Structure 1
């Protein structure tokens, strides 16, 4: 929100520097994010002075140029070459001196420098009005009043507006400060805490008079809940023209382009008082009647931006006796606004239901200054006052006569809020006991009426425009922000507590697994928990009645809470593949949400998605290895082993999401399901490559991880020894049998048995195969001797020969 400092000073006569005022506004909760400088004339005519042409002669080397001598009021006269046809001796003219910065029509800066033009020196420039930014004429130089003293600064004789504009980051709850009047009201309260008492200067409407009653327009509000208050008046014989410069400067300073005197007044009052207004060309109001009502669904309506829109049955509309004219509180219709041919207007001032306006604006994708204020809740008690203020300004700038009484439909007054403030609770929340007189003074400065005072607290009436202050805590917050957070004393004692954090808490375990997956080349993703209800059709296991639905979804794609992690993961896969990133390893911790008859359930999950190649393409890696079912199975096993979960039971699963799948369980508790996503599912997301998916029930995983006891042993200090056998075996014998016999033969020193080569083919007897097996031996207490090693190897050889019929090759 932009606030003009010059405009603000119309309400509160403050002579502080803008930076100091900005600091106070920030302390009051109206955070000033920046201060811009506004100049009605770019550069502010800095360096431009009034000069007098002493002589004017033809340029010796150019027919259309003249050489002048100009007195600038200080020092010797200067020579300036000028090409204007109307320059002449004796004239008073604006002169841009050496070093002056001027700006072209595109605000591009150029600097006046000393130079030569066709061989003659020139020490400045005699300016036309367009060169100074004072108009559009370039027929010749500006000739000033002969009474102006030579050397006078141009900024002192022209209407140049210099302003500071505050960019305020307004929080949604501060609807009361959405205007210069509201900001000034807060500023007054803040100044009072600094013992600077200033009165707010309120625009007077005492001159409002009804000249005649020749043009009455009847008003009917058919839904008082959507339009609790509606005011209107007619003004006849207006003349539409350009607004005066003071009004244009005010609007331009806050980024609004002036249009005409009537429209500019409605914008001016909007930003002055915070009350949106709308001026209708009464010529287009058929039947001399205004109806405030809703229309049938899909009714066509063309707005001011020339877009034809289909109305919702809940959209509140301003209509005449025949047709709709305006979307109430949001946007006008194409044929209802004020144009240069308008001679009579109907001026509207209203209070519309904030929720209704917000829904309508969202439905149609419209965000206007009016809807911005109506959505947050404006002051319902200034509706008529703002109407009178605007009517008087229109009369002042456009002429005309008030040609009807003000119609004010306000069947049910919006009441102020009653709150009791406990002194004890205030001290607890603030952290310091403030004097009661200070509390009452602050509340009074905020227009909060003190009804009663007791030993324990104060009974208060909160004005209805402060719709964000309805509880005791809200009142305490108001006291604190005006008193000043920086003025609250704090103790020098530092208190700290040490939390007892379980190493198996969700946070710690999640970090452990995240680090492991990242180390294996995965990237963590975070998807929106809101998703499209259309995904229900992809699986029979998702019934629509179990969806947790949003009451006011931003769009149909974000209408329900997700019930599976798969679909949001596939959205990410599709997005990346479309951007040439097809080798993907993704994981996400998140929740799914389910609606049952008696309850709503949230389940925590860890999802893993793999697609494409295992490793990036490289000249070292040779052929690319595609991620497959066994790869993701290995990743899952490593995750569970990291948490000490072993002895898992694997079972095949049937799912309409996975073409092949397994589950890992402990006892009867399922920990994870994984497999290959069906092509029919992938097709919905325009994915053509294979995608592997794993879904951990994280709640179950955590439950088992907490009860798992992790054992550890020190790394042995003594070396391990490896010996190999090349065994000739029957082709029916499996490595598992060799592993079992070896472990039974030597239980203490044999640490590992590994099959590192298998050969079947030429030079072997029929029905035989060759296994190359390695045996790793280690004693944790001493170094093994050759004698011990040979003894163990002979035992192994003997058992292989007797039990498997093996032969050493």
Structure 2
């Protein structure tokens, strides 16, 4: 959820920086995941000024270029200009040397001092598309202004810049899904008052177009309010409103729809505007339509109704899926002159069922599903109507219809002071508790020495019991303000300490990070499409989510592959193509009536191994790069006797399967192109997925380093000619068995396949490192060890030793 800091200041005064506000909100439970800067013109026109063309002459070496001198305030600079309309005396937009421009199309570029056909140019006179404010490239912009030369162009074009907070809203905090909701928390944190826009000037112009409303089941729609506005003029919104929406990543549509979106994000109250001329019979009916009825929504899709969704209807049929999505036939268009504006409170359950059935997730349904403030509809309606009159003209042509048969009452909750102190872990003064609660609009009803009775307004749908009230006190008081006890301690009674799985995971994370891998955490929910089209996952094993947020988050993942590929795609699409990622995550599967889950370690490698430099050319990552990392992980965990087998199974073009005894440890390989395309990844991906539970079970703890031997290490090399089917893993096992404790490690420094050896054969050049930690090796001992190795290779893998 995005919140504009500039707009927050309209609700509550503060001079704290966006970073300080972010820290306050995060500490109170509204986690700010990032701060972005929105600019109405990208780059903010920094380094772009108003200038005046003092002279303009033809370029001596180019017919279509002009030599100009331009006064940019602090200096007069020469500029070579190719525009046909440049002339002496013009006020123009000048990009100064060193500034960066962000054109409408193409990449940003820096203005540098240059020589153009032999003439010096120190800047650029700009067309509107070159500074990102329009599409025209017919010529330079000629301004009609008296602003002094050197005035920043941002002042002339009224560039808006705003910090925007990205808040990771938890599902329980529906009340904070708006600027007003966030301002309410700041009110408590900063101890300052909120200022709501006044609607005192709201008045009905005439009652020429009344609309009647009927709600068949008030349980589905506890409150429904609306009014009509006539003689409106639908068109583009003013700049301030468009910039407000763009800062929140919303596209402006027209002034009517934009105002409803403004109110939704401002106050948390969804609104819907109908073309009043398309409401048959002048009556709105809120009801459910029969199952299998057809309805065309704004996206021009014909939808078959379930019979459970709530519909806004007129006397002829459906106009809108209530609280979710409007209908094509009743929407506001450029031809609309009269509107009916709806502001309602719907049951979260009925909206959730309808949204889930149709796979429609909208800003309105997001709020209605979690619960909106039943006391907000009329205020929001008045505020929106006044804005529509101001921006789109028109007259309020009916009284407000407000059906609210059973007003929702404040919740009364009893809270014990002893429980407050026990759960917080600190004794708070009663006066401070009262001050915090009242700043959150949770008011005292009764008070005794031991208990308080408080009233909670309906918009706080998450505060239902004593523990919730205590949580509110704690989050505003501050978790960091609760000191740890001096005698805080822990004890350990086990005779033999178990493996610390968290420590093992942390150490491996350190290892991988040190090798340039980045850790990621992806969503356990994923698309059912992946299992259906992957060819290696079983769709029948999908663990489906009954209360889906969307079809794209409809099942639990069976593998870490696809959620990781989505992360790769996100980065590759942003020109980060050389990627190393790892993830510790859980996978899920349905087995009959039972469910299984297991932890996995996934590794992803794609792009080039290292950035191109003058020392060496870049090269694409290879299978061996990923396999080396897996080997290092196994070595770090002291896991040996891993069997390796070459396999050709989905999702890999080719892969190695790792086994520990009869159990599969994982696979490493190159992902098939058809698989990567499912996640829109367009480059080769190396992937490994290891069974983390099995790794933890078999791990002998982290490898510990011993004292460096005082005795030297000896290297001997052998060249083996073997069948192509023999793997290095087989050779390694034979060598470790035959070499005994003297053989420390083995390396391959050359592999040959060609016409100099028999067909079906390959040659390995191997290095063997021998060392005795207790004495210096003699030639006799070394030769004896090498003879054992040679005999074992000849006998067990049919090797021919090249002399």
Using structure 2 for the length normalisation, give the TM-score: 0.63
What residue is the counterpart of 1:78 in the other structure?
77
May I ask how many residue pairs the two structures share in their alignment?
A: 542
Pick one of 245, 254, 257 that aligns with 2:248: 254
Judging changes above 3 Å, is the alpha-carbon distance between structure 1 residues 474 and 91 closer, same or farther for their aligned structure 2 residues? Answer: same
Equivalent residue, structure 2, for 1:748: none
Q: Distance in 1 between matches of 2:6 and 2:82?
A: 39
Residue 296 (structure 1) aligns with: 290
Q: Distance in 1 between matches of 2:646 and 2:130?
A: 63
The answer to whether the 8 A contact 1:42-1:107 is kept is no
8 A Cα contact 1:51 1:92, kept in partner: yes
Match of 1:223 in 2: 217
Distance in 1 (CA, whole Å) between partners of 2:386 and 2:356 is 34
Q: Which residue of 2 aligns with 1:32?
A: 32
Q: Please identify, of 254-263 and 212-221, the stretch whose mean Cα deviation from structure 2 is larger.
A: 212-221
1:81 Cα deviation from its structure 2 partner:
1.1
Q: 2:452 corresponds to which residue?
A: 458
| Residue correspondence of structure 1 range 204-219 to structure 2 within 5 A | 204-219=198-213
In 2, the alpha carbon distance for the partners of 1:433 and 1:150 equals: 64
- Look up the match of 1:723: none
1:693 corresponding residue in structure 2: none
- Measure the CA separation in 1 of the matches of 2:349 and 2:5: 32
Post-superposition shift, 1:605?
Answer: 13
The 1:146/1:7 distance shift into structure 2, 3 A limit, reads closer
Task: Name the structure 2 match of 1:18.
Answer: 18
Q: How far 1:550 moved relative to its partner?
A: 10
Aligned structure 1 segments of 4 or more residues deviating by more than 6 angstroms: 501-504, 588-594, 602-606
- Which of 221, 228, 233 matches 1:234? 228
Q: Measure, in 1, the Cα distance between the counterparts of 2:471 and 2:182.
A: 17
Q: Secondary structure at the match of 1:429?
A: helix
Structure 2 vs 1, CA of residues 592 and 109 (structure 1 numbering), >3 Å: closer, same or farther? closer
Change (3 A) 1:592 1:130: closer
Q: Secondary structure at the match of 1:389?
A: helix
Distance 1:239 1:119 in 2: 55
Deviation, structure 1 residue 307: 1.5
1:499 Cα deviation (Å)? Answer: 5.0
Structure 1 residue 617: Cα displacement? 5.2
Equivalences for 1:756-795 in 2 at 5 Å?
A: none
Q: State the match for 1:445 in structure 2.
A: 439
- Deviation string 1:270-306 (CA, Å, 9 cap, x unpaired) is 0000000000011211111111000111111111112
* Aligned residue number for residue 67 of structure 2: 67
Instruction: Indicate conservation of the 8 Å contact 1:48/1:154, yes or no.
Output: yes
* Within-5 A mapping of 1:270-349: 270-349=264-343
CA deviation after TM superposition for structure 1 residue 491, in Å: 1.3
Quick one: distance in 1 between partners of 2:58 and 2:545? 81
Whether the aligned pair in 2 keeps the contact of 1:91 and 1:146 (CA below 8 Å) is no
8 A contact 2:4–2:162 mirrored in 1: yes
State the distance in 2 between where 1:99 and 1:91 align.
23
What per-residue deviation string (whole Å, max 9, x for no partner) do you get for residues 633-666 of structure 1? Answer: x979xxxxxxxxxxxxxxxxxxxxxxxxxxxxxx
SS at match of 1:10: helix
Give the Cα–Cα distance (whole angstroms) in 2 for the partners of residues 400 and 554 of structure 1: 41
1:305 and 1:460, CA in 2 relative to 1: closer, same or farther beyond 3 A? Answer: same
- Rounded to whole Å, the distance in 2 between the matches of 1:338 and 1:605 is 49
Counterpart Cα distance in 2 of 1:5 and 1:44: 17
Specify the alignment match of 1:665 in structure 2: none
Contact 2:229 2:340 in 1 (8 A): yes
The 8 Å contact of residues 281 and 344 in structure 1, kept in 2 or not, is answered as yes
> Which protein has the larger Cα radius of gyration, Structure 1 or Structure 2?
1
Q: In 2, distance between residues paired with 1:423 and 1:356?
A: 38
Identify if the C-alpha distance between structure 1 residues 593 and 29 changes in structure 2 by more than 3 Å, giving closer, same or farther.
Answer: same
Distance in 2 (alpha carbons) for counterparts of 1:163 and 1:66: 39
Cα pair 2:104 2:131 within 8 Å, conserved: no
Aligned partner (choices 341, 346, 352) of residue 346 of structure 2: 352
- Asked if the contact 2:588–2:595 (Cα under 8 Å) also holds between the matched residues in 1, the reply is no
Distance in 1 between residues matched to 2:79 and 2:173, nearest whole Å = 57
CA distance in 2, matches of 1:591, 1:311: 30
Q: Shift of the alpha carbon at 1:591?
A: 10
Instruction: Call closer, same or farther: CA 1:501–1:170 in 2, change over 3 Å.
Output: farther
In the alignment, structure 1 segments of 5+ residues that lack a partner are 193-197, 508-526, 532-548, 562-567, 576-587, 595-601, 607-613, 620-633, 637-809
How many Å separate the matches in 1 of 2:194 and 2:246?
Answer: 24
Q: Taking structure 1 as reference, are residues 495 and 270 closer, same or farther at Cα in structure 2, changes over 3 Å only?
A: same
Please give the root-mean-square deviation of Cα atoms over the aligned residues, in Å. Answer: 3.5
Structure 1 residues 589 and 382 mapped into 2: Cα distance closer, same or farther (>3 Å)? Answer: closer
Q: Please name the residue that 1:50 is paired with.
A: 50
Indicate how the Cα distance of structure 1 residues 397 and 590 shifts in structure 2: closer, same or farther if over 3 A, else same: closer
| Cα offsets for 1:155-208 (capped at 9, x unmatched) | 22221010111110000000110000110110111112xxxxx22120111111
Contact conserved, 2:232 with 2:337, CA < 8 A, in 1? yes
Which structure 2 segments of 5+ residues have no match? Answer: 502-523, 529-542, 563-586, 599-641, 648-660, 664-803
- Matched residue of 2:330: which SS? coil
Q: Is this contact kept in 1: 2:356–2:547, CA < 8 A?
A: no
- Taking structure 1 as the reference length, what is the TM-score of the superposition? 0.63
Call closer, same or farther: CA 1:201–1:616 in 2, change over 3 Å. same
Q: Aligned pair in 2 of structure 1 residues 501, 387: CA closer, same or farther (>3 Å)?
A: farther
Alpha-carbon distance between aligned partners in 1 of 2:225 and 2:444, rounded to the nearest angstrom? 31
Question: Is residue 2:125 matched to residue 1:126?
Answer: yes
Please list the CA deviations of residues 557-588 of structure 1 after superposition, one character each: whole Å capped at 9, or x if unmatched: 9xxx9xxxxxx99x99xx9xxxxxxxxxxxx9
**2:157 is the alignment partner of 1:158:** yes
Map Cα deviations across residues 17-50 of structure 1 (whole Å, 9 max, x no partner): 1111111110111100001111001110100112
Q: Deviations over 1:770-798 (max 9, x none)?
A: xxxxxxxxxxxxxxxxxxxxxxxxxxxxx
Q: Indicate conservation of the 8 Å contact 1:592/1:605, yes or no.
A: no
1:489-529 residue CA offsets vs partner (Å, 9 max, x unmatched): 1113232133569999xx9xxxxxxxxxxxxxxxxxxx99x
Q: How does 1:637-786 map to 2 (within 5 A)?
A: none
- Residue 383 of structure 2: aligned partner: 389
Distance in 1 separating the partners of 2:158 and 2:17: 22
The match for 2:183 is: 184
For residue 368 of structure 2, what is the aligned residue in structure 1? 374
Does the C-alpha gap of structure 1 residues 154 and 113 become closer, same or farther in structure 2, counting only changes over 3 Å? same
| Counterpart residue number, 2:114 | 115
Q: Distance in 2 between matches of 1:107 and 1:444?
A: 54
Q: How does 1:580-595 map to 2 (within 5 A)?
A: none
SS of structure 2 residue aligned to 1:395: helix
